[in-house]
Amino acid sequence: MRHLALTLVAGTMFAAGSASADGLRLPAENWTIPYSGSASAIPACDSPNVLSTIQSRFVERESTYWSSNLTIVAFEKLRPVSFRPWGLDFIPRLFCTGVATTSDGKPRRVDYVIAESTGIIGWGWGVEWCLSGLDRQLGFAPNCEMARP
């Protein structure tokens, strides 16, 4: 009976994609709910859709929680930092960095990650971001380090 239980547990782990038959981890795109694993499934760092999402969410957060009228007026020097830095068995992610100029005229470093299948209810890509000096809730503390690989 014990052997049967161990076999069921091992079979469940394999089906869930946490381990392969030889004990190695499987790439995320080979899971039972696969990711494409392709860089083309994630927009580029300078994609207008990504940047407008960051801008709109920044305005919403600033006005709702901090009674601030700050906006992001420009992005520059955007570049990728790393694609899938933690290995193939994690959700495909593209880490980016650059400079965002806010409406107070200050240039601030912006760090963000675009991840596959992390949009609303797991559909499409999602983005998490942090502007240096404006992480008031310390969600990516210290100084936006947790928004980087």
Report yes or no: 88 and 25 within 8 Å, Cβ to Cβ: yes
Model pLDDT, residue 78: 98
Q: Where in the chain are the domains?
A: 1-34, 39-147
- Residues 3-29 have a mean pLDDT of 45
- Residues 138-146 have a mean pLDDT of 90
Model pLDDT, residue 129: 93
The single-letter DSSP state of residue 36 is -
Model pLDDT, residue 6: 35
User: Tokens in use for 141?
Assistant: 């503390």
Report yes or no: 99 and 110 within 8 Å, Cβ to Cβ: yes
**Percent of the chain clearing pLDDT 90 (strictly above):** 47
- List the 126-131 sheet strands across, edge first: 72-83, 93-102, 107-115, 126-131
pLDDT tens for each residue of 97-109:
999 999 999 999 9
Closest CA relative to residue 104, chosen from 129, 127, 131: 131
What pTM was computed for the model?
A: 0.72
pLDDT tens for each residue of 19-31:
444 455 666 565 5
pLDDT tens for each residue of 43-72:
999 999 999 999 999 999 999 999 999 999
Alpha helix stretches (DSSP H) within the chain: 2-16, 48-66
CATH number assigned to the domain with residue range 39-147, chosen from the 4 options 1.10.760, 3.40.1630, 3.30.1330, 3.10.450: 3.10.450
Closest CA relative to residue 125, chosen from 43, 2, 47, 54: 43
Dihedral sign, Cα of residue 131, residue 108, residue 87, residue 91: positive
For 71, other C-beta atoms within 10 Å of its C-beta total 15
- CA–CA gap between residue 61 and residue 58 (Å, rounded): 5
Alpha helix stretches (DSSP H) within 17-118: 48-66
